[in-house]
Structure 1
Amino acid sequence: MEEKHDIFNELEIQDLSKQNKEKYYKFVVYGRPGTGKTTSLTRENNALVLDINEDGTTVVEKGLGVSIRNFNHLAKIIQSLPDILTQARANERPIDIVVIETVQKLRDITLDQVMKGKTRKPQFTDWGEVATRIISMYRFISKLQQEYKFHFAITGHEGNSSDKREDGTLFNPSVTIKAQDSIRDAVISQSDVLARTYTETDLIDGERSTRWIFSVEPSEDYETKVRHSPSVTLNNKKFENASLSMLVDAIRNGN
């Protein structure tokens, strides 16, 4: 009997309903210092944190972390993710998300690598090369995510953004992740979730109570986004004391 020809497999055509339920996401999370960016992503102690140019994050009690020295060190870690994740899980250290801190530091070490051996100041083409390298890194990580089953996130400080008219005047001002335009656009376009963290303080019986908010709620002032299946309804886009599993469950199944 002639073997049945499976054109779906041959052409890599996927069942989108199944793909959406099993998707691993890319997060961009920005906010002021101390608003819970890293805490939200690592609360469940299942993160590998790549902390650039620092001695290591202090807000993660468990999980894995590495202090990134330079761009080549980061590139080696990223290329070794399959082996790192496999060994971590074999050692009963569940790693469900890889976090880079921060986009500003990623920009700095990438620019250092691009400018290596050059004595002039960075030019437009240099910043373009920085953005290209960051996009390449994102795409490489994307190819690994489904096979090795991990989410990916990058954090950053918040800053002002706006579009520019032909005469140089600005319009559509908003608050978003702080980075050069080309880098910010590259990071956001490659990601599934763009979220802002902030705190809200209530006065209860004379005592101040602080709530940590992870928000993908549409706003005229703050840039956010979340990609999810059209069949999923997100009624609440503000998450209090968020965790990775809480966020992923809401994106996959609604709330």
Structure 2
Amino acid sequence: MNTELNILEQLDIQELSKQNKEKYYKFVVYGRPGTGKTTTLTRENNALVLDINEDGTTVVEQGLGASIVNFNHLGKIIQSLPAILAQARNNGQPIDIVVIETLQKLRDITLDQVMKGKTRKPQFADWGEVATRIISMYRFVSKLQQEHKFHFAITGHEGNSSDKREDGTLFNPSVTIKAQDSIRDAVISQSDVLARTYTETDIKDGERSTRWIFSVEPSEDYETKVRHSPSVTLNNKKFENASLSMLVDAIRNGN
């Protein structure tokens, strides 16, 4: 029996029920500007926000943030994530999620790096290198998540997507996160949650009230998904004024 347990440990074979309960998730969240993408993920002030080519996010009151200036800057932070998380937690700052804003800006700084020293316009091979670098970074972060106990999210804008037949015609049009096809497909395929954010407005007694929605509801028009254990039932896949802990609890335990 001890030999069997040792083999399981040596080969990193885990009990699935325990693994599901302790899993740290990868989120891809898209929506129009001002629909609460970052707010939902950082509402509990426990995020490290990596804001690319901006002066820093203004929707987070506490937590940690960095204004990313180029691909190398982002790479150094990603490589140093274990040390960053450990120091933040030792300083009393809980960091439970790392957020990159946005997938479009990540693509731009990666392309800048790939094209550095080149005077021509980007070609097919250059875009392939961009996709490869982003996917490699995404996989690297994924490998850190369980050991260092953090969720990971990438936000982005809405964009149109469709499948292509052999003759080049398009079908199955839908709205999803806006990105180059190879980047989008790889990031979505490796994510646990693909969600759309939007707002709903009600008018009662002349007063207008806005609700911020985080949705993983199946839709013919919008691409969404959520991975969870077969034993978990998600009766409500549309979350109002959501927070990270609310979402994680629902995925792990149902609602």
**TM interval, short-chain normalised:** over 0.9
Q: Paired residue for 1:238?
A: 238
> Paired residues, what number?
254
2-structure distance, mates of 1:207, 1:170: 44
Three-state SS of the structure 1 residue aligned to 2:182 is helix
Name the aligned partner's letter for residue 234 of structure 2. L
Q: Paired residue for 1:75?
A: 75
Per-residue deviation at 1:62? 0.6
Name the aligned partner's letter for residue 28 of structure 2. V
Q: Where does structure 1 differ by over 6 angstroms across 4 or more consecutive aligned residues?
A: none
Q: Paired residue for 2:34?
A: 34
Three-state SS of the structure 2 residue aligned to 1:163 is strand
Q: Deviations over 1:186-234 (max 9, x none)?
A: 1111111000000001111111111000000000000000010111000
Per-residue deviation at 1:21? 0.2
Q: Paired residue for 1:107?
A: 107
Per-residue deviation at 1:142? 1.1
Name the aligned partner's letter for residue 34 of structure 2. G
2-structure distance, mates of 1:212, 1:28: 17
Structure-1-length-normalised TM-score: 0.97
Three-state SS of the structure 2 residue aligned to 1:12 is coil
- Contact kept, 8 Å, 1:127 with 1:182, in 2: the verdict is no
Name the aligned partner's letter for residue 68 of structure 1. I
RMSD of aligned C-alpha atoms? 1.2
Per-residue deviation at 1:10? 2.0
Q: Deviations over 1:106-151 (max 9, x none)?
A: 0000111111122221112211111111111111111110011000
2-structure distance, mates of 1:219, 1:180: 22
2-structure distance, mates of 1:150, 1:113: 28
Of residues 44-53 and 6-15 in structure 1, the stretch that sits farther from structure 2 once superposed is 6-15
2-structure distance, mates of 1:231, 1:123: 47
Structure-2-length-normalised TM-score: 0.97
Name the aligned partner's letter for residue 10 of structure 1. Q
Three-state SS of the structure 2 residue aligned to 1:92 is coil
Name the aligned partner's letter for residue 205 of structure 1. D
1:1-255 aligned at under 5 Å gives the runs: 4=3, 6-255=6-255
2-structure distance, mates of 1:231, 1:84: 35
Per-residue deviation at 1:167? 2.0
Gaps of 5+ in 2: none
Three-state SS of the structure 2 residue aligned to 1:143 is helix
Percent of aligned pairs sharing the same letter: 90
- Contact kept, 8 Å, 1:29 with 1:156, in 2: the verdict is yes
Per-residue deviation at 1:17? 0.5
Three-state SS of the structure 2 residue aligned to 1:122 is coil
Three-state SS of the structure 2 residue aligned to 1:235 is coil
Q: Deviations over 1:146-188 (max 9, x none)?
A: 0110000000000111111122211100000001101111111
